Amino acid sequence: MLGIVIETPAKSTDQRYKDQLYALLQVTRAINNNTAAKELFSIYQYILETQLGFTKIAYSSFDEIWRWPICFNSEYDTARINPELDLKKYHELTILDEDETHPHLASFDVIIPVEHKGKALSYLLIGDLDRSTVREERKSDLEFVQTISNVIAVAIENKRLFKDNVQQEMYKRELEMAREVQSMFIPSSLPLDEHFDFAAFYRPIRQIGGDYYDFIRLNDEEVIFCMADVSGKGIAAALLMANFQAYLHARVGTTSDLRVIVTDLNDRVVQSAKGEKFVTFFIAKYNTTTRTLFYINAGHNPPVLLSNGETSVLNCGTTGLGMLEKLYRLESGELKIHPDAMLLCYTDGLVEQENEGGQDFGIEQLESLLKEHQKLTPSAFNEMLINLFTTYKGDQPYLDDIALLTCRFF
């Protein structure tokens, strides 16, 4: 078996120790050669059966779930033993009592657990022994089994941890690739010209997030800008947002009617998310010649407009996209933009963030800050806002992704 030659145990104690040392050497070499777990279990079973002569053994090892990689004359019993429930009370080599209550543990005589830092790694069950004499007559064998069980269990656990680390590294690389792809969906630059000055800020609480903003130039006179937020976090939210962004660009290429765009986007989210997620969405179309702003707010946090020293919120619209198969009371807003007006779009990670006293940042504070710092450029305003927000948050964890899209109209 596996090229291992182990003689039948001799009667003398010296020969028994030599055999045990040789067996331990074989296991150590196999571990150093990075032998697969299945082969390590085969070596382990061969030692237990052939060298030590145990006629009934069962070995349970944890690998995401508890498994029984070794069952020799014990398949019936192990099929009815749950290691996590039935064996967790054993923390050291135990010779079972005659009155063991578990019907299938009662068919075994010895349990040898292996633990590391308080965590159970494996259990070896041995049967067909004389419980009254096993401690004296097989003391040396049991001590050796305990030693080699520890070596095997720790080696298997190290393999599992290494595998987990490799998978985590792969997951990190995939996240990094996803982050890079997601960054391609967000404008790398925003316009600063005679009509307006746009600036943005984005901080996902994970490597990738579900917030999104965009700026699309339709023609010489019209532009579209938007902000969106997918319910939930992580990869699922990012994938839905990527799909959403792609479809938005495709739809804007065929129509500039905001009502049509929003209706079609709702259909798309319903099909993609199947009711498990939704998207809050603010979209606006601005005509630089007429200075008219058309917008629809689909369940998103209302942007704040500062105009002539007064603030107002843009909340005309409908429900979040994907919440209902058909949008309810789809309305659009229209207003004239005065020179030097300033518009702040944001996601809920900003206003719903709580401080150490349990108070959220709130929209009222945004309105006050716009009035107080209305002379700042959009970029400087965003920087000031985030610095103030960070101080307000203190040591509290971020609740959600944060995105800002700020515009001053000239």
Closest alpha carbon to 388 in 352, 359, 350: 350
3-state secondary structure of 70: strand
pLDDT digits (tens, 9 = 90+) for 168-218: 777 677 666 666 666 667 888 899 999 999 999 998 877 677 889 999 999
Task: Indicate the DSSP class of residue 338.
Answer: P
Strand partners of residue 120: 115
Closest alpha carbon to 85 in 107, 105, 59, 69: 105
Task: Indicate the DSSP class of residue 50.
Answer: I
pLDDT digits (tens, 9 = 90+) for 5-38: 344 444 466 777 777 777 888 888 888 888 888 9
Q: DSSP alpha helices (H): ranges in 92-220?
A: 134-137, 139-185
Orientation angle between helical segments 37-46 and 139-185, nearest 10 degrees: 170
DSSP states along 226-251: EEEEESS-HHHHHHHHHHHHHHHHHH
pLDDT digits (tens, 9 = 90+) for 207-244: 677 889 999 999 999 999 999 999 877 777 777 888 89
Domain ranges (residues) in the chain: 13-160, 175-409
The pTM score is 0.62
3-state secondary structure of 262: helix
Residues with Cβ < 8 Å from 263, sequence gap 6 or more?
A: 327, 330
Tell me, rounded to whole angstroms, the distance of Cα 86 from its chain centroid.
Answer: 31
Strand partners of residue 198: 407
Closest alpha carbon to 317 in 256, 253, 382, 259: 259
DSSP states along 51-63: IT--SEEEEEEEE
Class of residue 370 by CB neighbours under 10 A (exposed 0-12, middle 13-18, buried 19+): buried
Average pLDDT score, the chain: 88
Residue 59 tokens, joined = 């070995």
Task: Render the burial of 388-402: b for 16+ CB within 10 Å, e for the rest.
Answer: ebeebbeeeeeebbb
410 touches 195 (CB < 8 A): yes
Is the pLDDT assigned to residue 2 strictly greater than 50?
no
198 touches 378 (CB < 8 A): yes
Compute φ and ψ for 20, nearest 5 degrees.
-65, -40
pLDDT at 4: 43
128 touches 108 (CB < 8 A): no
CA distances from 128 to 58, 87, 106 (A): 12, 19, 11
pLDDT at 171: 67
Most confident among 54-68, 191-205, 281-295, 392-406 (mean pLDDT): 281-295
Architecture of domain 175-409: 4-Layer Sandwich (3.60)
CATH of 13-160, one of 3.40.50.280, 3.30.450.40, 3.40.50.2300, 3.30.9.10: 3.30.450.40
pLDDT at 11: 47
pLDDT at 154: 87
3-state secondary structure of 109: strand
Count the alpha carbons within 13 Å of 346 in the hemisphere toward its beta carbon. Answer: 26
Class of residue 235 by CB neighbours under 10 A (exposed 0-12, middle 13-18, buried 19+): middle
CA distances from 219 to 83, 256, 272, 282, 337 (A): 69, 11, 30, 21, 19
Residue 402 tokens, joined = 């944060």
